[in-house]
Structure 1
Amino acid sequence: MRTGSEPVTARSALRARLWLCAWGVAWTVFGTVVFVLVGRPGWAAACGALWLIVMTDLLLVVRRIRQGPHYQPGRGVPPYRPPDAPP
């Protein structure tokens, strides 16, 4: 059911983002190491910069998960109620 307030009541799949960040960390570290070993400093720097972005996202996701069920609702947390109709 669409209520028109989805940006306000939207939820993020934080556990999926957590695993995608972990996957991104693994690949960026691998890419950085490989590009350093083959002598491509530009690509190694690009992978290192991407690693910083992925780590920032990972830290934000972990912070949101630790804030509790309001930010990471599970089966025991009911969905948000639709906003009341305008008067």
Structure 2
Amino acid sequence: MRTGSEPATARSALRARLWLSVWGFVWAIVGTALFALVGRTGWAVACGVLWLIVTVDLAMILRHLRQVPHYQPGPGIPPYPPPDRRV
């Protein structure tokens, strides 16, 4: 719900999240490869699962970054009224 107190220049932290995911992606790949080479199957599987999760997260972040900006009401539009809580 819009409260009307949002800053006019608010920005999403998607770019920071993108670079943190890239960092995790690289470490998951390196961890999977090194643990597989050393023979630590459990740790290699754990890093492989993390690799999969980070890949999905990266896809979601890139999807959100490619979306066009959505409509945002201007400062002249009052906030939405609170929902009617009749039960």
1:26 and 2:22 are equivalent in the alignment: no
What aligned pairs does 1:61-76 form with structure 2 within 5 A after superposition? Answer: 61-70=61-70
- The runs of 5 or more residues in structure 1 that have no matched partner are 71-77
Give the AA of the match of 1:15: R
Calculate the TM-score normalised by the size of structure 2. 0.69
SS of 2:47's equivalent? helix
Sort the Cα spacing of 1:4 and 1:31 in 2 relative to 1 into closer, same or farther, 3 A.
Answer: farther
Q: Deviations over 1:5-43 (max 9, x none)?
A: 87xxx8641001110110010000000000001000100
* Identity rate, percent: 64
Q: How many residues align?
A: 75
SS of 1:34's equivalent? helix
- The runs of 5 or more residues in structure 2 that have no matched partner are 83-87
What is the root-mean-square deviation in Å for CA atoms of aligned residues?
Answer: 3.1
Calculate the TM-score normalised by the size of structure 1. 0.69
Of residues 77, 83, 86 in structure 1, which corresponds to 2:79?
83
